[in-house]
Structure 1
Amino acid sequence: MSDERLHLPEVTLVAVTSVAIEATAHAMHRSLERVRFGAAVWCSDKPPPAVIADAVAWHAIAPLTTRDAYSRFMLSELADHVSTSHALSVQWDGYVLDPAAWEPSFLDHDYIGAVWPHFDDDCRVGNGGFSLRSRRLLDVCRALPERFADSGATEDKLICRTARSWLEAAHGIRFAPEALARRFAFEREPKTGSPFGFHGVFNLVDLIDGAASARLLAGIEPRILAKSEHRELLRWAFARREWQVARVILLRMLRRKTARRT
Structure 2
Amino acid sequence: MPAPVLTPSSTGVALPQVTLAAITSIAPEATARAVALSMAGIAFGEVLWISDLAPPPSLAGRVRWEPIAPLTSRDAYSRFMLRDLAGLVGTDHVLCVQWDGHVIDPARWDPAFLDFDYIGAVWPQFRDGAVVGNGGFSLRSRRLLQACAALPGCGPEAEDVFICRTMRSRLERDHAIRFAPPELAARFAYERERGTAPAFGFHGVFNLVELVSDREAAGLVAQLPMRSLARNELREIGWWALRHGRLRLAAEVARRWRRWL
TM range (shorter): over 0.9
1:114-144 CA-partner distances (Å, limit 9, x unpaired): 0000111111101000000000000011110
Q: What is the distance in 1 between the residues matched to 2:235 and 2:202?
A: 21
Q: CA deviation at 1:4?
A: 3.0
1:217 equivalent in alignment to 2:216: no
Give me the TM-score of the superposition, normalised by structure 1. 0.94
What number of residue pairs does the alignment pair up?
253
- 1:138 maps to 145
Mapping for residues 69-108 of structure 1, pairs under 5 Å:
69-108=76-115
Q: What is the distance in 2 between the residues matched to 1:193 and 1:200?
A: 18
1:248 equivalent in alignment to 2:239: no
Give me the TM-score of the superposition, normalised by structure 2. 0.95
1:18-76 CA-partner distances (Å, limit 9, x unpaired): 00111111000100112110000000001000111221000000010001000000000
1:206 equivalent in alignment to 2:210: yes
- Quick check: which one's helix share is greater? 1
Contact 1:13/1:87, CA 8 A, preserved across alignment: yes
Q: CA deviation at 1:191?
A: 3.6
Q: What CA RMSD, in Å, does the superposition of the two structures yield over aligned residues? A: 1.1
Unaligned runs of 5+ in 1: 258-262
- 2:132 maps to 125
Percent identity (aligned): 54
1:59 corresponds, among 66, 74, 93, to: 66
State the 4+ residue runs in structure 1 displaced beyond 2 angstroms. 2-5
1:4 equivalent in alignment to 2:10: yes
- 1:42 maps to 49
For residue 166 of structure 1, what is the amino acid of its counterpart?
R
1:17 equivalent in alignment to 2:21: no
Say which SS state the counterpart of residue 58 (structure 1) adopts.
strand
1:28 equivalent in alignment to 2:60: no
For residue 212 of structure 1, what is the amino acid of its counterpart?
E
Unaligned runs of 5+ in 2: 1-7
- 1:260 maps to none
For residue 131 of structure 1, what is the amino acid of its counterpart?
S
Q: What is the distance in 1 between the residues matched to 2:135 and 2:215?
A: 28
Contact 1:234/1:249, CA 8 A, preserved across alignment: yes
